[in-house]
Amino acid sequence: MSIKYSNQEDEYIWKDLQSGSRSALEFIYRSHFDFLYDFGLRISPDHSQVSDAIQDLFVEIWNRRKRLSHTTHIRPYLYVSLKRKLIRNIKKSRKESATELKEYHFEAELSIDELIVASES
């Protein structure tokens, strides 16, 4: 049975989500996606990173729905959650990039050393 939400209080919709209502999740997603996307682009200019973070956020919300804290204002809750997720993702990608750069630099040093040894023989 699909429940139609319109102009309902956030608290009511959130309680339905916590109870396992897929229509509540869908309503929240459709109602807030555009705002979250625009907000996310202010944190990261990477469109795919923002879209992926929003998708991941809603998967996590659904998987943790029974343990979610109570809220009476869904949009601020989603904004804070998305902001945290994007910051974590950006930090993680920077660490990975730095590690790749170090590995690349190390491999380049080995190649140069090998060339020097080869030229001395």
CA within 13 Å, CB half, 76: 6
From 3-17, 56-70, 100-114, the region with the lowest mean pLDDT: 100-114
* Structural class in CATH, domain 10-92: mainly alpha
Mean pLDDT, the chain, whole residue set: 84
Q: What is the mean pLDDT of residues 45-55?
A: 96
Helices (H), 1-121: 10-18, 22-43, 47-63, 74-120
pTM of the model: 0.73
pLDDT of residue 73: 93
The domain segmentation of the chain, as residue ranges, is: 10-92
